Amino acid sequence: MINLQDLDEDQRIAASAPRGPVCILAGAGTGKTRTITYRIAHLIDQGFVSPNRVLAVTFTSRAAGEMRHRLNLMGIGGVQARTFHAAARKQLLYFWPQVAGNLPWRLLDNKFQLVGRAVRGARLESQTEKVRDILGEIEWAKASLITPEQYPERLGNRTPPAPAEKVAEVYQRYENMKATPEGMLLDFDDLLLHTAGALENSPAVAEEFRQQYRSFVVDEYQDVTPLQQRVLDAWLGDRDDLTVVGDANQTIYSFTGATPNYLLNFSRKYPNATVVKLQRDYRSTPQVTGLANTVIGQARGRVAGTGLELEGMRPAGPEPEFAAYDDEPTEAREIAGRILTLIDQGVPASEIAVLYRINAQSAVFEQALSDAGIAYQVRGGEGFFTRPEIRQALSQLIRASQRDVDESDLVRLTQRTLVPLGLSSEEPTGAQERERWQSLNALVDLVRDLVAATPDLDLTGLLLKLRERQEEKHPPTVDGVTLASLHAAKGLEWDAVFLVGLVDSTLPISHAIKAGDEAIEEERRLFYVGVTRAREHLVCSWALARQEGGRKSRKRSRFLDGIVLDLASESGTPRSNRPQNCRVCGSVLHSAAEKVVGRCASCPIQADEQVFEALRTWRNDTAKRENKAAYMVFSNATLMAIAEMNPTNENELLSVPGVGPMKIENYGDEVLAVLGHR
Ligand code: ATP
Ligand code: MG
């Protein structure tokens, strides 16, 4: 049942406050989400409100599901937990006939096409990137409650993607085009606008709604837009049974129009509000919170009320690590190796995340993880092969294979095929173009790897290999490592977090650097969000060149200044990047699997084949019995290392790379028995 003893004193004050306005202003991992879940449970348990009269708003539908799940565990069902959009959509479906009679409407499913037409109507160039930028601008304006007429004068210091009057014209045309003879087309923002409008303009609708919903809770309130706030105000009317929680230091959606001001001004709007600050971070070790405090402590122009200092409540853990690598493929391979080691030490793969700034960065890590045999899932952004530009690229290559093309240099052929899709020799500056460019380049890199591995590959063979890759990318979704952008990682937590690609112009991203200080500060907060996702293990890494052998012209993220020494300028190779050598032939090892075994894949195996096979059979049986993926018990690489080193006791076993104390505890006896030492 609901036991408020599961909360600390400050959390309890917030959870058990009487009905009415409550505001929790607190840092990452301090239990905000947990506290509001308990608050809902407590209000229901005490009979202040019934479950179906509560509306909880979360930032993602995943978070909504999580909240319902946690409430169910406490024996409470029937609470509505939704995103603003999902809640508005449901309400509009219900109230539409009352406000619009039988005027039909449907959700606009291809906004891009419509905006494209509006762009052409306004006689602007309509390349994909331009349309996308203007579309983003219209979304910002709508979320900020700015009409087409107001747009030019409400721009402030924003740089519009086209002359302001032109953007306003496109915006107006777009709005007009949604009224079709067959009925209204509504985009996502319209759902919110019309919901607020229905409640504001129709007393009957408002009364019915307010009869139904009495108590409101909003998570991640620092990232609410004026449009969402208007919906919230319409829901409430003149009532004040509202609990909000947020952390201004985690405002990372300003570019969509979101603002922390509603959170920071809450107690001005509701002078009788219970305001609680939480500082104890239950998620992370003091080592992680120490770094988080330093990162956010360097923020410029911090808003009053955001000067929270996190106190890590978990037992001490490892220091965060920083690692510079020569190039991205090396960075990805090394990280995959680290992940393999963590898994071997007993950290579940589902408790490990690789976080990056933009989705295109996932490609090289997807590749490295799949090479190392590690299952993964890509969150918030589709997997590499389902990206539109990659799908287009593959179909162009298939088309090329049907023509009579010169197949002598497949890498060049691929490059030439991808030029019309946006592969230029210079890295473009626009965010969207850059992301596209990076994934096209990642595809070229992949082709280069495949060609290197199979020198006599022809185009059909290459397409088959790409198809294989694509099909392998349907990994089991359970037990996998998470790949996610920093934006998509909001509110989540993992035992081990790898913050990768920390180079200037990726974090902070180039367009933020161009836009100036405010935008750069938002990027810093994004870094802070990343750091605070880790419970225990945290590794920050970056690569000095993009490609293997490329010019090392990149600079690590400016946010690391004052946090780590400039590793690149130190003499020699940074420690974390020191090559590891084969124990047979002494040459430098490359792949993660080779490093775990400590031997080149091509060097003769030093182990008795039968011993290795016995270990493998034991491992597979154990995995089956425990219902896990085989590599979660021991990876093949680790089994090989065990077979080669033939440890005779637990201490020796512990010295095998990839075997940690957890593994000894779980499997030590059995492994030694298989080796005949027990
Ligand atoms: P974020 O700012 O990232 O959204 P948050 O403030 O919402 O973080 P939660 O996700 O609610 O934090 O909690 C972080 C972790 O700390 C969770 O694993 C949660 O279960 C745990 N936690 C919170 N409060 C307590 C507590 N009083 N005792 C033990 N664990 C707690
Ligand atoms: Mg939270």
Whether the per-residue pLDDT at 476 is higher than 50: the answer is no
* Structure confidence by residue, pLDDT tens digits, 148-204: 999 999 998 888 999 999 999 999 999 999 998 888 999 999 999 999 999 999 999
Whether the per-residue pLDDT at 307 is higher than 60: the answer is yes
pLDDT at 534: 97
- Best substitution site from 6, 35, 39, 283 to test ligand 1's pocket, by max atoms within 8 Å of Cβ? 283
Looking at ligand 1, which atom is closest to the CA of residue 27? Answer: 2
CA of 95 to the centre of ligand 2 (A): 31
Structure tokens given for 91? 């309400």
Residue 279, exposed/middle/buried by CB under 10 A (0-12, 13-18, 19+)? middle
Which has the minimum average pLDDT: 491-500, 539-548, 602-611? 602-611
Ligand nearest to the CA of 29: 1
pLDDT at 202: 94
Q: Give the full edge-to-edge strand order of the sheet including 179-180.
A: 105-107, 183-186, 179-180
Looking at ligand 1, which atom is closest to the CA of residue 281? Answer: 16
Which residue's alpha carbon is at the smallest distance from atom 11 of ligand 1?
A: 31
Give yes or no for a contact between 295 and 531, defined as CB atoms under 8 angstroms apart. Answer: yes
Q: Which residues, at least 6 apart from 390, have a Cβ–Cβ distance to it below 8 Å?
A: 384, 439, 440, 443
pLDDT at 655: 77
Which residue's alpha carbon is at the smallest distance from atom 27 of ligand 1?
A: 7
* DSSP character string of 124-168: ----HHHHHHHHHHHHHHHHTT--TTTHHHH-TT---SS-HHHHH
pLDDT at 601: 74
Question: What are the CA-CA distances from residue 505 to residues 14, 327, 365, 513 (Å)?
Answer: 41, 16, 19, 7
For residues 292, 298, 302, 307, the Cα torsion angle rounded to the nearest 10 degrees is: 50
Give yes or no for a contact between 234 and 87, defined as CB atoms under 8 angstroms apart. Answer: no
Q: Is 32 annotated as a binding residue?
A: yes
* Structure confidence by residue, pLDDT tens digits, 96-150: 999 888 888 988 877 888 999 999 999 999 888 889 889 999 999 999 999 999 9
CA of 122 to the centre of ligand 1 (A): 50
Q: Is 30 annotated as a binding residue?
A: yes
Give span(s): CATH 1.10.10, the chain. 110-177
pLDDT bracket for residue 217 (50, 70, 90):
very high
- The upper half-sphere exposure of residue 612, i.e. CA atoms within 13 Å in the direction of its Cβ, equals 16
Residue 183, exposed/middle/buried by CB under 10 A (0-12, 13-18, 19+)? middle
pLDDT bracket for residue 671 (50, 70, 90):
very high
Q: Domain 581-678 has what CATH class?
A: mainly alpha
- The upper half-sphere exposure of residue 398, i.e. CA atoms within 13 Å in the direction of its Cβ, equals 10
Residue 452, exposed/middle/buried by CB under 10 A (0-12, 13-18, 19+)? exposed
397-407 as b/e, with b when 16 or more CB fall inside 10 Å?
beebbeeeeee
Q: Is 31 annotated as a binding residue?
A: yes
How far apart CA 509 and CA 513 sit, in angstroms, is 7
Ligand nearest to the CA of 31: 1
Would you tell me the crossing angle of helices 84-100 and 203-212 to the nearest 10 degrees? 140
pLDDT bracket for residue 380 (50, 70, 90):
low
CA of 35 to the centre of ligand 2 (A): 9
Instruction: Give the right CATH number for 110-177 from 3.30.310, 1.10.3470, 1.10.10, 3.40.50.
Output: 1.10.10
Q: Domain 321-381+474-577 has what CATH class?
A: alpha beta
Question: What are the CA-CA distances from residue 67 to residues 39, 100, 580 (Å)?
Answer: 12, 34, 46
Mean pLDDT, range 471-499, rounded to an integer? 80
Of 323, 209, 262, 246, give the one whose Cα is nearest residue 59: 246
CA of 307 to the centre of ligand 2 (A): 18
Give span(s): CATH 3.40.50.300, the chain. 4-89+191-278, 321-381+474-577
Q: What's the pTM value of the predicted model, to 2 decimals?
A: 0.77
CA of 646 to the centre of ligand 2 (A): 47
Which residue's alpha carbon is at the smallest distance from atom 13 of ligand 1?
A: 31
Neighbours of 564 (CB within 10 A): 15
Report H helices in 144-259: 151-154, 164-177, 188-201, 203-212, 226-236
Ligand nearest to the CA of 492: 1
Whether the per-residue pLDDT at 431 is higher than 70: the answer is no
pLDDT at 593: 65
- The upper half-sphere exposure of residue 421, i.e. CA atoms within 13 Å in the direction of its Cβ, equals 25
Kind and range of the H or E run holding 534: strand 534-545
How far apart CA 316 and CA 200 sit, in angstroms, is 53
Kind and range of the H or E run holding 597: helix 592-597
Q: Is 660 annotated as a binding residue?
A: no
Which has the minimum average pLDDT: 212-216, 285-289, 328-332, 387-391? 387-391
CA of 491 to the centre of ligand 2 (A): 4
pLDDT bracket for residue 232 (50, 70, 90):
very high
Whether the per-residue pLDDT at 618 is higher than 90: the answer is yes
Which residue's alpha carbon is at the smallest distance from atom 17 of ligand 1?
A: 283
* Structure confidence by residue, pLDDT tens digits, 5-28: 899 999 999 999 988 999 999 999
Neighbours of 358 (CB within 10 A): 20
Whether the per-residue pLDDT at 630 is higher than 80: the answer is no
Would you tell me the crossing angle of helices 517-531 and 286-297 to the nearest 10 degrees? 180
CA of 314 to the centre of ligand 2 (A): 17
Looking at ligand 1, which atom is closest to the CA of residue 492? Answer: 3
Q: Is 592 annotated as a binding residue?
A: no
CA of 281 to the centre of ligand 1 (A): 7
Q: Is 204 annotated as a binding residue?
A: no
Give span(s): CATH 1.10.150.80, the chain. 581-678
pLDDT at 382: 57
pLDDT at 578: 47
CA of 38 to the centre of ligand 2 (A): 13
Whether the per-residue pLDDT at 581 is higher than 90: the answer is no
3-state SS, one letter per residue, for 389-432: HHHHHHHHHHHHHHCCCCCCCHHHHHHHHHHHHCCCCCCCCCHH
Whether the per-residue pLDDT at 567 is higher than 60: the answer is no
pLDDT bracket for residue 565 (50, 70, 90):
low
CATH number 3.40.50.300 is the correct assignment for the domain at 4-89+191-278: yes
pLDDT at 471: 65
Which residue's alpha carbon is at the smallest distance from atom 21 of ligand 1?
A: 282
CA of 191 to the centre of ligand 2 (A): 25
- Best substitution site from 8, 33, 35 to test ligand 1's pocket, by max atoms within 8 Å of Cβ? 33
The residues lining ligand 1, judged by C-beta closer than 6 Å to any ligand atom, are 7-8, 11, 26, 28-34, 247, 250, 282-283, 491, 493, 532
Q: Is 178 annotated as a binding residue?
A: no
Mean pLDDT, range 243-271, rounded to an integer? 94
pLDDT at 127: 85
pLDDT at 579: 56
- The upper half-sphere exposure of residue 206, i.e. CA atoms within 13 Å in the direction of its Cβ, equals 17
Whether the per-residue pLDDT at 273 is higher than 70: the answer is yes
Looking at ligand 1, which atom is closest to the CA of residue 220? Answer: 4
pLDDT at 574: 40
Q: How many helices (H) and strands (E) does the chain have?
A: 28, 17
* Structure confidence by residue, pLDDT tens digits, 456-475: 888 888 888 888 777 655 43
Mean pLDDT, range 373-397, rounded to an integer? 80
- Best substitution site from 4, 16, 34 to test ligand 1's pocket, by max atoms within 8 Å of Cβ? 34
How far apart CA 70 and CA 35 sit, in angstroms, is 11
Which residue's alpha carbon is at the smallest distance from atom 24 of ligand 1?
A: 31
Ligand nearest to the CA of 490: 1
Of 22, 87, 194, give the one whose Cα is nearest residue 79: 87
Whether the per-residue pLDDT at 383 is higher than 70: the answer is no
pLDDT at 472: 58
| Residue that wins the pLDDT comparison between 289 and 109 | 289
Q: How far is CA 272 from the centre of its chain?
A: 37
